[in-house]
Amino acid sequence: MAYRGPALPQYGFLKVPEGQSRRAVAIIEAEELRKEFVVWRKVGRLRRQRQVVSAVDGVSLRVEQGETLGYLGPNGAGKSTTLKMFTGVLAPSSGRLRVCGLEPVSRRVQLTRQIGVVFGQRSQLWWDLPLRDSFALLRHVFRIPQAEHAARLAQCRELLGLDEFLDTPVRQLSLGQRMRGELTAALLHGPRVLFLDEPTIGLDVVSKQAVRAFLTQLRDQGEVTVVLTTHDLADIERLCRRLVIIDHGRVVHDGSLEALHARYGSRRRVVVDLDAPWEQVPGLSGAVVEAVEAEGHRVTFSLAEGVTAGHVITQLAGYAALRDISIVEPDIEEVIARLYAASDDARSVASG
């Protein structure tokens, strides 16, 4: 269902004025960003107690143009709150924040032209109108030049396969179809940065893949900066080179996925199936036995840091007949679970 109209001028998704350097342009600069909410707690039948809760508690972050950043954290960690401050929806309680060089709340209207936002739970489409009409309305709301609008829409139609439901009222779309519509709506005005809050939540496998493939393509073009929050670690593994993990309103990790594994000592594993039951190999170096299963016929080794799987397998092959070998990459969910637990421990030590 690709676009078959007349040839269109190629507009990228970005509109950086020509000649402007693309190197090291800061899209987001946050310093000691905080957001506090006042909560009234019920004490007794009528009395209420005032309590200040920090949803975001001193986040400092710098995101440069073209980066794809995964923003991760357990429920209630402050992900959405941070994103809402980045997009000018919520005013920070304290700290310094610039997005595309603008202070989000006071320059909200200018900022909306520079950013695209997909909040999974809040549709920016018109519920009762066909998708096509929503896109046309957005052209007027954002005052997008017609040619630009047409070119971007054509690109999205092709990449996201919108044609089959372009004339359906939004309220009748499936979640996956709507999400594809939302992505298009967020990109039509050519934003410099795209904020996605849980873009794949609740989607079926096919839609998930479509969304991820689209975002991968966007990332590889390198024009649009993408910041996404997610619970789905597969999103992160597929899309994000940089990972920021937040817990209790604070950044607990900022770096690549590999750095995370290195820091928390996650190890690759080698699983071997043996002809004869396992016996301890004297002087085996670079690996320790983690589990012995199937009456000694299957053994799992975890590799020490910097040790190759080949090194261990060669040693093993000298001692026993190997039937099958598999290498298991470290599990990101496990690392993150460990990370959350560690940060909880640190907090209880600090407060206790």
Partner 1 sequence: MADASRGADIPAGADSGGVLSAYTRLLVAQIRSQTQYRLSFLADVVSTCLMSLLDIVAVLVLFRVTPALGGFSGRQVLVMAAMALLAFSLSDLLVGNVERLRFYIRTGLFDVVLLRPLSALGQLLVIDFAPRRTGRVVQALVILAVALFLVDIDWSVARVAILVVTPLAGSLIFASIFVAGATVAFWWVESGELANAFTYGGRDFTTYPVSVYSGWFRRLFAYGLGFAFVAYYPALFLLDVPDPLGAPIWLGWGTPVVALLAMTVAACVWRTGVRHYRSTGS
Closest to partner 1 by CB, 22 vs 143, is: 143
Residue 334 binds partner 1, judged by CB under 8 A: no
Instruction: Give the 3-state secondary structure of residue 338.
Output: helix
Residue 98 binds partner 1, judged by CB under 8 A: no
Residue 140 binds partner 1, judged by CB under 8 A: yes
Unique residue bearing structure tokens 């000592």: 265
Q: How far apart are CA 37 and CA 269, in angstroms?
A: 45
∠ CA(54), CA(58), CA(61), 5° rounding?
Answer: 135
Q: How far apart are CA 300 and CA 274, in angstroms?
A: 11
Residue 71 binds partner 1, judged by CB under 8 A: no
Of 104-112, 204-212, 294-302, 340-348, the segment contacting partner 1 by CB under 8 A is 104-112
Residue 280 structure tokens = 């301890």
Residue 25 binds partner 1, judged by CB under 8 A: no
Total residues found in the chain within this entry: 352
Residue 29 structure tokens = 């600069």
Q: What is the DSSP string of 156-197?
A: HHHHHT-GGGTTSBGGGS-HHHHHHHHHHHHHTT--SEEEEE
Contacting residue, 22, 122, 338, 347, with partner 1 by CB under 8 A: 122
Contacting residue, 1, 41, 48, 127, with partner 1 by CB under 8 A: 127
Residue 123 binds partner 1, judged by CB under 8 A: yes
Closest to partner 1 by CB, 137 vs 271, is: 137
Q: How far apart are CA 50 and CA 216, in angstroms?
A: 46
Closest to partner 1 by CB, 115 vs 257, is: 115
**How many of the chain's residues bind partner 1 (CB under 8 A)?**
48
Closest to partner 1 by CB, 104 vs 330, is: 104
Residue 242 binds partner 1, judged by CB under 8 A: no
Residue 225 binds partner 1, judged by CB under 8 A: no
Residue 110 binds partner 1, judged by CB under 8 A: yes
Residue 148 binds partner 1, judged by CB under 8 A: yes
Helices (H), 65-174: 79-86, 108-112, 131-141, 146-160
Cβ-based neighbours of 244, under 8 Å, separated by 6 or more:
61, 69, 70, 71, 72, 251, 253, 254
Nearest residue to 257 (alpha-carbon basis) of 272, 232, 270, 239: 239
Of 7-15, 218-226, 232-240, 281-289, the segment contacting partner 1 by CB under 8 A is 7-15
Q: How far apart are CA 174 and CA 185, in angstroms?
A: 16
Residue 187 structure tokens = 């990109």
Residue 117 binds partner 1, judged by CB under 8 A: yes
Contacting residue, 198, 225, 244, 335, with partner 1 by CB under 8 A: 198
Residue 109 binds partner 1, judged by CB under 8 A: yes
Q: Kindly state the smallest distance separating residue 66's Cβ from partner 1, in Å.
A: 17
Contacting residue, 91, 262, 276, 327, with partner 1 by CB under 8 A: 91
- β-strand partners of 220: none
Closest to partner 1 by CB, 137 vs 284, is: 137
Residue 279 structure tokens = 């016996």
∠ CA(330), CA(334), CA(337), 5° rounding?
Answer: 150
Q: Kindly state the smallest distance separating residue 268's Cβ from partner 1, in Å.
A: 34
Residue 145 binds partner 1, judged by CB under 8 A: yes
Residue 15 binds partner 1, judged by CB under 8 A: yes
Closest to partner 1 by CB, 186 vs 243, is: 186
Residue 202 structure tokens = 């609740």
What distance lies between CA 38 and its chain's CA centroid?
29
Residue 144 binds partner 1, judged by CB under 8 A: yes
**C-beta of residue 330 within 8 angstroms of C-beta of residue 261:** yes
Residues of the shown chain interacting with partner 1 in the complex, contacts defined by CB under 8 A: 9, 11, 15-18, 37, 76, 80-81, 84, 87-91, 105, 108-110, 112-114, 117, 119-124, 126-129, 133, 137, 140-145, 147-148, 189-190, 197-198
